[in-house]
Amino acid sequence: MTSNAESTAADRAHVFHSWSAQDLIQPVPVAGGSGGRFWDHDGNEFIDFSSQLVNLNLGHQHPRMIEAIRTQAETLCTIAPVFANDARSTAAAMIAEHAPEGLDSVFFTNGGAEAVENALRMAKLHTGGHKVLSAYRSYHGATAAAIAATGEPRRWASEPTVPGSVHFFGPYLYRSSFGATTEEQECERALAHLEEVIAMEGPSTIAALILETVVGTNGVLVPPPGYLQGVRELCTRNGILMISDEVMVGFGRLGEWFGVDHWGVTPDLITFAKGVNSGYVPLGGVIISEEVAASFATRPYPGGLTYSGHPLACAAAVESMRIFEDDDLVARSARLGAEVIGPRLEKLSESHRSVGEVRGLGCFFAVELVRDPATREMLVPFNASGEAAGPMNEVLAAVRAKGVWPFAQYNRIHVAPPLVIDEADLTSGLDRLDEALEVADAFVTG
């Protein structure tokens, strides 16, 4: 058996990692996984509270997924997008069936960034506008238009970006940009701000507004009641396409097939990836409204990918959705959030002064850590790195030392386990997180 040391040495010899200073990282070797757990070569085991990159909704090594991929591989491993293929057609039909009414066509990509890239291209061609509105505290991918739409520091190194990218502030009551003290005020003022941005930019110049239905990496920011409906109304009134980026939150993560279902909103385009087949084979795409699809009925759509609708990926997506239906995983996600994760995190927040706020839906929550609960000073500064990030690094090390692998960004720990996680593991992981937060409490000064 390969040891951790041997696996790490092999990685460091030739693998170039994303978002990393290559000489400063030491990737944890992973030997295997099952359900909501994974382990290294030396026998250390982790409860997966990150679903890897919030994509492994069905957990590690689901036997039905493995069998579906094997069966498809024995039938047809790959075929060019120009051909019709049963796996692709079935996946598209099932995705459309679960999407909001009126979104009936699916353009397949290899992942989320390409989905965003193509959704923005479709919007520009459909409307004739060239600008794209997107929120600060957002992430939409690392390709050209997607990184331009991104509203956080990962965009900076790619600037100048695609022309026409305009950012606005979305709702975030805990750290309101609008001086709001209630959800109603936050909603009203965020929409007024957005309406003003649209007016100042010129509605006729704006092709699309793209936003994460629930902001993912940048804080699990759940929109207040009425906000998404208000965004939909503003887009409709001004001839702007509304794009819901559901790459992270689609396919059960929030306790609905799609996040927009929580608010009864129908966007013009939905981008998806990650949870569509839990990343067992790379897949993403755009779900397209009838009106937008009609723009390309007699003129070619000028975009495509060699692996668009790859049969292995689509077969995995079909089986994934069947598992969701058979095991009622959307309802399970909602129940785990309402009955296990949410209440346990609320209780945890009462016993730790370092916890400023907990928030989330389904199997997607954030724990925001602070130095001072009164002033809400963040545990570490925005975009902290090096020594400034030390306190958060200590907290995360404590969580991992207890056998839990969290998803984290800046001063937040995200709880995003696979939707199939064993309930005992989920409870145990939350208890271990509770214990580890004693390290965060030591940094509280207020």
Task: Give per-residue burial for 5-34: e unless 16+ CB within 10 Å, then b.
Answer: eebbeeeeeeeeeeeeeeeeeeeebbbebe
pLDDT digits (tens, 9 = 90+) for 100-152: 999 999 999 999 999 999 999 999 999 999 999 999 999 999 999 999 999 99
Contacts of 288 (CB under 8 A, 6+ apart): 103, 104, 105, 106, 107, 122, 269
Contact 415, 365 (CB under 8 A): yes
How is residue 294 written in tokens?
């009609």
pLDDT digits (tens, 9 = 90+) for 245-273: 999 999 999 999 999 999 999 999 999 99
Checking if the pLDDT of 94 tops 80, the result is: yes
Structure confidence at residue 1 as a pLDDT band (50, 70, 90): low
What are the distances in angstroms from CA 171 to CA 61, 162, 325? 38, 25, 33
Domain 64-327, architecture per CATH = 3-Layer(aba) Sandwich (3.40)
Q: Report the pLDDT value the prediction gives residue 313, as an integer from 0 to 100.
A: 98
Q: What is the DSSP string of 373-388?
A: TTTTEESS-TT--GGG
* Domain residue limits, the chain: 31-61+328-441, 64-327
pTM for the whole thing? 0.96
Checking if the pLDDT of 279 tops 90, the result is: yes
Checking if the pLDDT of 340 tops 70, the result is: yes
What are the distances in angstroms from CA 259 to CA 149, 264, 324, 435? 20, 9, 16, 31
Q: What is the DSSP string of 326-340?
A: HHTHHHHHHHIIIII
pLDDT digits (tens, 9 = 90+) for 364-382: 999 999 999 999 999 999 9
How is residue 77 written in tokens?
């491993």
Domain 31-61+328-441, architecture per CATH = Alpha-Beta Complex (3.90)
Q: Report the pLDDT value the prediction gives residue 2, as an integer from 0 to 100.
A: 85
Q: Report the pLDDT value the prediction gives residue 74, as an integer from 0 to 100.
A: 98
